[in-house]
Chain A
Amino acid sequence: MNKNHFAVIGLFLLLITIIISCQKLEPSAPAEDSILDGPVENLTSAQNIQHLAGDVGFNGQVFTAATGLGPVFVATSCGSCHAGDGKGHPFTTLTRFGKNDSLGRNEFDHGPQLQERALPGYAPEKLPVGTSFAKFTPPINSGLGFIELVSEDDILAMAAGNFNNPDGVRGHPNWSLLPTYIKIRPGSENQGNRYITRFGKKASTYNLLHQTILAYNQDMGIASSFDPSDVFTLLDTDPEISDKIVREVVFYLQTLKAPIQRDQHNSDVITGKDLFVQIGCESCHKQTLKTGISPVSALENKEFHPYTDLLVHDMGPGLDDGYTEGSAKTSEWRTAPLWGLGLAPKSQGGQFFLLHDGRARSIDEAIRMHGGEALVIKNRYNALQENEKQKVIKFLNSL
């Protein structure tokens, strides 16, 4: 054997060592608190299987003409708009338009959502001239299973709690008409044929199934057995998605973990949080809510920290786009949950696009755009010293 033989043998031994140490040379996982996707802790293996199946439906299923997309649509998959289950981008921001009458009917046939994109050969919808509209930037999808389980009594209690709020904070649940495929929870509160709805920026959908079916239909032009209408002809057509996949996607949303706070022991974060509470932000952005009973024990009777009251509030003329849903007025918006706020740039291309339509380019700007019921409290924020403001922002960034 000459020395070349040793070289070759040496190299192959090296190769084997490398392969054995393989995993160490692979990229490590990002910290759990730095990402929004992933399941809640302590799911059973059966629930893990369902969550994974829903993940495939949500992130993996890209619709094409062949699988039912459109023919007019806004995007091609849930995951295109909700990248990493985080907030969306101006490119994935959608437009709703028109006015609804007391029966929830839009003044236009083709409404409320603008089908601004189309398959080749088709023309997309155009916004009718002179009509009012609002834009909606996709919100975070994590932790929604907890929000779905907040009792209506708790929501009504938060509204009642503002009865004599000295800062002028009021707020009420959005009471909406429901599509027939919605199974109403036993004992659900109603005002005539209207029910308390909680998802979406106007809090206009009842539960995650409702939101999911709307998304399939209005965002992607996918008809389902729940809502078989075709966005283009407005006539009923064959389902383009199976009930099974719909249920799996809903389960996926229900079992996404709640966003995890970072740096909560940092002294600036602690001071910032105290200031946030002191100046009254928590009147609307309620820190702690709780869930009730659930078939998923990992979600059952849990306290969680979304920083919302699930009520709609009059946010003043600056945020009044002249478009609304349910019993909310045009100036009324659901208190945006603030959890996961600091992770927004990770899904918004390194920037912030905040408030319902992404108009606020920083946390500070989002706060300064508060008006209406939040005016007094916003002015208190404005009156803070610069370094105190920075601490409030640091706290919000830790969420």
Chain B
Amino acid sequence: MKILILATLLFIAFNAQAQIDTTLLRRTTADTSKRKMNMDAIYNRPMLQSGKLPVSLGGYVEANYQHLGTDGISEGHQFQFRRLTLFVASTISSRIKFLSEIEFEPADKEISVEFAAVDVEFHPLFNLRGGMIVNPIGAFNQNHDGPKWEFTDRPISAEKMLPATWSNAGFGVYGKYYQNRWLLGYELYLTSGFDNTIIENEFNRTYLPAAKANAERFEESNNGEPLITAKVAVKNTRFGEIGFSYMGGIYNKYQEDGFKLDDKRRLDVFALDINTRISKTGTAFTGEYAWIFVNVPDTYSQQFGNKQHGGFLDIVQPLLKDNLLGWRNAVLNLACRLEYVDYNVGRFKETGENIGDEIWSIMPAISFRPNPQTVFRLNYRFQKQRDIFTNPAVNTAGFSFGISTYF
């Protein structure tokens, strides 16, 4: 059934284009002006618009080849079609716009609406947003489009500690203020949220992404408690941007039909994100670090930690910016991603010693961008993972090569 829907969607999407005289298409390339912040990533995408039609279309694809091995066991040649995402945006009337992002991940046989919200602008400082919202925790969650990154995989801390892409039904307000070189942005949303699976799951660890499997959250909150997400970011057009974000609320189902099931248990997440560029060398730094605090019952297993933290730092150095192989403004980058996650911060009650469950990864990369919307990337991952007892690490390493592009 899902396949059918997708096929229809694709058909409409492509036909819509096919029937239009392409000379009428206007490419609204992403606005890279310095007025944009991470919070604008959702709208700040290249889209196609036809004539005076109020609707613009866009999307991106991501596909990879991967050859990874773990302690002598190779996965062999893996060909992956990670995802296809379609954006549909429209300006309904002045100051009312709509944008949706529909993602198809064939491996999960899943079509999901990642974002579908109506924005009403009252004042640059005050806008309303309602619908399916991408919670602004850290910067990656809102800024997750494949073609933006030099790496085929999403950061571990963003996807396997924080639950990128994490979106929920809800509403809230956002706004921006600028003066000279400074921009200040804020977002505040109330949405549906997490559930008991973050500590009752088959990953055998506290795992926020486990809550993504519960699609019911789009219809009915598991406990009737809102998840609050708030973010403040400051940008200086010369130095870069720094963001502080918070997401939290009661995650567990503590009562049903008036019967008490458990105490109320909270989840609190704090994140810090930065991006900056050294103008002299063009070196770009993008990073994010998050701290998670979960109220896990004392009498539950220590396998499920009550604290986690982790993050990533991407360093991207353009090597060549030139007319390459006939592409004007093509760029060749050298990059490296450093990652770390401690899934279980704490000490064993029995021994007082550190609980492990940690992962490190270093990923050098070469990427080639024939234009800003398209990236070819070659990554070599070297990763170490230790179990909760801090036994000798399991080593994983190998190459991936991928292409990702907006269309």
Contacts and interface: CB of A to CB of B under 8 A. Distances in A.
Contact of A91 (B200, B262, B350, B392): B350
Contacts of A23: 67, 69, 74
B118 to A, nearest CB: 36
Interface in A72-92: 73, 75-77, 80, 83-84, 89-91
Given A8-B324, A117-B299, A26 B68 contact: yes
B389 A26 contact: no
A26 B299 CA distance: 41
Contact of B399 (A19, A66, A73, A83): A19
Interface stretch (A141-149, A235-243, A347-355): A347-355
Contact of B332 (A8, A30, A84, A350): A8
A7 interface: yes
Interface string A343-385: 0001111100000000000000000000000000000000000
Interface string A250-289: 0000000000000000000000000000000000000000
Interface string B193-208: 0001101111110000
Interface of A: 4-5, 7-9, 11, 15, 18-19, 22-23, 25-30, 61-62, 64-67, 69, 73, 75-77, 80, 83-84, 89-91, 93, 117-124, 346-350
A100 B349 CA distance: 30
B173 to A, nearest CB: 34
Contacts of A5: 324-325
A26 B398 contact: yes
Nearest to B297: A120
A69 to B, nearest CB: 8
A11 B332 CA distance: 10
Q: Which of B72, B197, B300, B330 has the most CB of A within 10 A?
A: B300
Chain B: interface residue count, which band? 35 or more
Contacts of A123: 299
Q: Which of B65, B202, B262, B366 has the most CB of A within 10 A?
A: B202
Contacts of A9: 325
Contacts of B262: 120-121
A319 B147 CA distance: 64
A28 B72 contact: yes
A15 B69 contact: no
Nearest to A1: B325
B301 interface: yes
A57 to B, nearest CB: 13
Contacts of B201: 62, 64
A26 B74 contact: yes
Interface in B381-407: 387-392, 395-399, 401
A8 B368 contact: yes
B380 interface: yes
Nearest to B327: A8
Q: Which of A4, A7, A25, A27 has the most CB of B within 10 A?
A: A27
Contacts of A66: 200
A115 to B, nearest CB: 10
A4 B350 contact: no
B301 A76 contact: yes
Contacts of B301: 73, 75-76, 117
28 contacts: A5-B325, A7-B332, A8-B332, A15-B401, A18-B378, A19-B65, A19-B399, A22-B399, A26-B67, A26-B69, A26-B70, A26-B397, A27-B69, A27-B71, A29-B72, A64-B201, A65-B200, A77-B204, A80-B303, A91-B348, A119-B200, A120-B199, A120-B200, A120-B262, A120-B300, A122-B299, A348-B389, A349-B390
A198 B197 CA distance: 39
Contact of B303 (A8, A30, A75): A75
Contacts of B82: none
B220 interface: no
A61 B356 CA distance: 21
Contact of B324 (A4, A61, A90): A4
B378 A83 contact: no
A25 B389 contact: no
Contacts of B350: 89-91, 93
Nearest to B356: A349
B320 interface: yes
B153 interface: no
A89 B68 contact: no
B389 A349 contact: yes
